[in-house]
Amino acid sequence: MFRNVLRRSLAVFALLFAASSVNAQSNTVASPRLYVFDGGVLASETARYRLTDADVEEVELSVASFLIVHPRGVLMWDAGAVADHERSGGVGHEQRLLRRDGQERFVKLAPTLTSQLASAGYKPSDVTHLALSHYHWDHTADANLFAGAEWLVSKKEHDAMFSADPPGGTRPGTYDALKNVRATLITANEHDVFGDGTVVIRQASGHTEGHSVLYVKLAKTGGVVLSGDLYHYPAERTLNRLPTFEVSEPETAAARTELEGFLTRTRAQLWIQHDLPAHRKLKKAPEYYD
């Protein structure tokens, strides 16, 4: 009898130990890992990007967010278009959202961000650093989930987000919990997140006041730049078209020129976050790039 109890508790102990070591393993990587999360499909109009439907492979846009697991911390890059807590249907449901300026947008839902994080072995509270490419509503939805993390944000972007009259393309309620978090206000062109050059926030302003892109240097995959909204469709890059709603068109043009030089110098790939055909082909969590 006693032996049975002992055996059973040993088995439980072994199971718990195995589970915790799996978790610990995923939290102590030797080199950076990049997880891709699917944030659903966003209805779009090509005219807003000075394109026609004939210029693009697909009119609809992807919504993507990313988790970068580094030996020194865990960075969340962008936070989706529909918050987990506000979903009014399941996967595939077309959710209607209202921007601050009253314009409506529609997003077909993917699984929740929390469930996709969990598939990779992470909870929102495991995230040590948060960075948003910019403040538009389709990048901030679940930002409040990461209020326990250190927020890495361009000072100009931060000031616009918390001004008395935030920009029309925001949904301020999605990020209001960031107002009093521990934040690093970035003023330099580059911010090396973990100090070893493998994860670097690069200012690429113009789409918004402090828009940025993220460079991640991976051991096997090589360099990857996550575009934010420096481009939405690949045709903007090949046909040299700017969206109609930039805060500063000259700044976006300059940021594109600067980034193209960076891509050539580093031979990094550019992942256009809203490029739906390209996004479909990426491995999604729990798979990852390293």
Tell me how far the alpha carbon of residue 245 is from its chain's centroid.
Answer: 21
Q: Toward Zn ion, which CB reaches closer, 138 or 236?
A: 138
Residue 3 to residues 11, 189, 198, Cα–Cα distance (Å): 12, 65, 52
Q: In what order do the strands lie in the sheet with 150-154?
A: 94-98, 104-108, 33-42, 61-70, 73-77, 129-131, 150-154, 183-186
Stretch that binds Zn ion, among 21-29, 44-52, 108-116, 138-146 (CB under 5 A): 138-146
78 binds Zn ion (CB under 5 A): no
Q: Toward Zn ion, which CB reaches closer, 72 or 99?
A: 99
236 binds Zn ion (CB under 5 A): no
What does the DSSP 8-state code read for residue 128? -
Q: How many residues does the chain have?
A: 290
Stretch that binds Zn ion, among 109-117, 137-145, 211-219, 250-258 (CB under 5 A): 137-145
Q: How many CB atoms lie within 10 A of CB 248?
A: 15
Q: Toward Zn ion, which CB reaches closer, 70 or 134?
A: 134
138 binds Zn ion (CB under 5 A): yes
In this chain, which of 229, 236, 251, 275 binds Zn ion, going by CB under 5 A? 229
Closest separation in Å from C-beta 74 to Zn ion: 23
Omega before residue 111 within 30° of 0, cis: no
Stretch that binds Zn ion, among 96-104, 188-196, 199-207, 226-234 (CB under 5 A): 226-234
Q: Toward Zn ion, which CB reaches closer, 202 or 274?
A: 274
Stretch that binds Zn ion, among 134-142, 170-178, 240-248, 276-284 (CB under 5 A): 134-142
Buried b (16+ CB within 10 A) or exposed e, 209-223: bbbbbbbbbbeebeb
Closest separation in Å from C-beta 192 to Zn ion: 25
Strands 190-192 and 199-203, how do they pair? antiparallel
Residues that bind Zn ion (CB under 5 A): 138, 229
